[in-house]
Amino acid sequence: MKLLASTVLAALLALPAFSDTIPITLDIVNADGAPDGFSRSMVTANGTYPGPLITASKGDTLVVTVNNLLDDPTMRLSTSLDFDGILVNTGNSFDEGSSFVTTCPIAPNASYTYVVPLVNNQTGTFWYHSQLSVQYVDGLRGALIVYDPDDPLKDLYDVDDENTIWQVGDWWHNSTLPMLAGYVATGIVPVSDSGTFNGVGRFNGGPDVPFFVVDVVQGTRYRFRIINTSARNVFTMSVDSHNMTIIETDGMPTSPMTVNSLDLLAGQRYSVVVEANQPVANYWINAPYVGGSPARNLNQNATLSRAILRYQGAPEEEPTSPMSLGPADEELNALVEANLRPLVASPAPEADINITLNLVVTAGKAQWNVNNVSYLAPEVPTLVKILDGANSTDDFNVTENTFILPANKIVQVIFPPSEDDEEHPFHLHGNNFWLIKSNSSDEINTENPIKRDVAGVGSTGTIMRFSTANPGPWFFHCHIFWHLQAGLATVMASGLNETRAEVHPTQAWTALCPAYDALSPDLQ
């Protein structure tokens, strides 16, 4: 009997991991909160900023029910959720949440359930946020972690759980409708009041909100998953007296690389291993940020953006060392993105199609152009037009800036050097890309480039390649959402016939657009 039981058990263990359905309910509500000590009304999931942590395992299916209960008219009242960085198969593209590209927003007092199968054995560090206008600036952002039971790098760390996630983000005291109106009136992108670390921060003259505390035990190695949930700011992360070994870029495992400082653009994620190998004490985790001129917002003080790494046994107080912005120049070993290598080399295939994208701002205006076109969200989402038979560029508005591409090709996107002093984090939906030229270097690497889904476009130029083997209308845009709102976006629409053949949306999805279109503008 015993022998039989153990044989059965062994057989069960040999089966592939069961994939689960992960039901999640997010009530999107306006809630008062004071992340940095300044009280305001926010747009939240379940009343918190950041929203609830979503976790899953490789191969699971997320079933995310969104109940839109928003009622504060100083912010948008409709909503939509994007699962940032999650690979989406063509057939599931209608549930990837990009307003006016793949879906219509969810009206107030309505519910919608996104079904998001995790495909291609994808694992790693992701996040979710509103993808309607700049609504996530008002708070609707949260972490989404897909764990890998067979992580090839698991020998490098001991702890990787809900307490090892660092969400850094820019924070504003004003709500988005007046800020957007100000941007449109002046052409000046709003400058954040503060930065938050796991939902708490400080601003000049504000109260001493307790810094977030990350508890560690001496001798233990932690996998910290860092997510920049900003709509604008770049965060520079470091931990006093500790190194960070990078092992992941946007869901892709990397060959371990040790640094003591790294930048994250808006939307980017890294996993780093930090070994608690110092004397028992409190240490600063420095998380200064940059985003526009601080002179435009006197509340801003990037030095106050930080958290505490507290060893077990250390007193419950702030570190006694000065608050710095990170390692001094002579000790600096900062990440150079171009030096990262994937854990498993994946050469970038030769390009079949070349697209050059020139990013140009219209001076003094809230208007960004990609190849002389400023993206304007259409009334009828791109995917709806495709399902209705759209076949050529003529079937889309010029302002949709939609590139029609054949399926099963390799597309190379070249961003020439831009003169803007702010790097634009370009993000591809539903897919990732080979980053064959990083803005951090002049080197072109097609042999073993990293793959990721957000990369900076700036002064030295950037080149990416992506495959259209997974057809669909994929939004490709700057993750500075103020820039996106001002037109810095395109849609890479590949395989229109294949998309029509594979996408079979639900009645609930089909009903979203008529319901949204029937709303008065103040409810949209």
DSSP 8-class letter at 384? H
Place of tokens 């480039």: 449
**From the CB of residue 517, how many other CB atoms can be counted at a distance below 10 Å?**
12
Report the nearest approach of Cu ion to the CB of residue 483 (Å): 3
b/e sequence 144-183, b meaning 16+ C-beta within 10 Å: bbbebeebebeeebeebeeebbbbbbbbbbebbbebbeeb
Place of tokens 């996106």: 484
Report the nearest approach of Cu ion to the CB of residue 10 (Å): 54
Report the nearest approach of Cu ion to the CB of residue 265 (Å): 9
Q: Strands, DSSP E only, in 202-336?
A: 212-216, 221-228, 234-239, 244-249, 252-259, 262-264, 269-275, 282-286, 289-290, 306-311
H/E stretch holding 339 reads none
Q: In this complex, which beta carbon is closest to Cu ion, that of residue 202 or of residue 483? A: 483
Q: Cα separation of 58 and 17, whole Å?
A: 9
Q: In this complex, which beta carbon is closest to Cu ion, that of residue 233 or of residue 261? A: 233
Q: Are strands 221-228 and 165-171 parallel, antiparallel or unpaired?
A: parallel
What is the CA angle 78-368-486, rounded to 5? 15
Q: In this complex, which beta carbon is closest to Cu ion, that of residue 116 or of residue 377? A: 377
Place of tokens 């839109």: 68
From 223, 259, 227, 238, select the one nearest 307 (Cα to Cα): 238
In order of 12, 83, 125, 242, 482, the CA distances from 147 in angstroms are: 21, 15, 8, 25, 32
Phi then psi dihedrals of residue 168, to 5 deg: -110, 145
Report the nearest approach of Cu ion to the CB of residue 494 (Å): 23
Report the nearest approach of Cu ion to the CB of residue 464 (Å): 15
From 92, 84, 80, select the one nearest 429 (Cα to Cα): 84
Report the nearest approach of Cu ion to the CB of residue 361 (Å): 9
Give the sheet arrangement for strand 165-171, strand by strand: 194-197, 165-171, 221-228, 269-275, 244-249, 252-259
Report the nearest approach of Cu ion to the CB of residue 357 (Å): 12
| HSE, side-chain direction, 13 A CA sphere, residue 249 | 29
Q: In this complex, which beta carbon is closest to Cu ion, that of residue 276 or of residue 491? A: 491
Q: In this complex, which beta carbon is closest to Cu ion, that of residue 247 or of residue 480? A: 480
Binding site for Cu ion (CB under 5 A): 424, 478, 480, 483
What's the burial of 296, exposed, middle or buried (CB within 10 Å: 0-12/13-18/19+)? exposed
Report the nearest approach of Cu ion to the CB of residue 461 (Å): 15
Q: In this complex, which beta carbon is closest to Cu ion, that of residue 145 or of residue 478? A: 478
Report the nearest approach of Cu ion to the CB of residue 484 (Å): 7
Q: In this complex, which beta carbon is closest to Cu ion, that of residue 129 or of residue 225? A: 129
Q: In this complex, which beta carbon is closest to Cu ion, that of residue 273 or of residue 455? A: 455
Q: In this complex, which beta carbon is closest to Cu ion, that of residue 405 or of residue 480? A: 480
Report the nearest approach of Cu ion to the CB of residue 377 (Å): 17
What's the Rg (C-alpha) of the chain? 23
Q: In this complex, which beta carbon is closest to Cu ion, that of residue 314 or of residue 370? A: 370
Q: In this complex, which beta carbon is closest to Cu ion, that of residue 87 or of residue 478? A: 478
b/e sequence 467-479, b meaning 16+ C-beta within 10 Å: bbebbbbbbbbbb
Going by C-beta distance under 8 Å and a sequence separation of 6 or more, which residues neighbour residue 62? 22, 24, 54, 56, 83, 114, 115, 116, 117, 118, 144
Going by C-beta distance under 8 Å and a sequence separation of 6 or more, which residues neighbour residue 207? 37
From 100, 233, 78, select the one nearest 167 (Cα to Cα): 233
Q: In this complex, which beta carbon is closest to Cu ion, that of residue 203 or of residue 368? A: 368
Report the nearest approach of Cu ion to the CB of residue 424 (Å): 3
Report the nearest approach of Cu ion to the CB of residue 30 (Å): 28
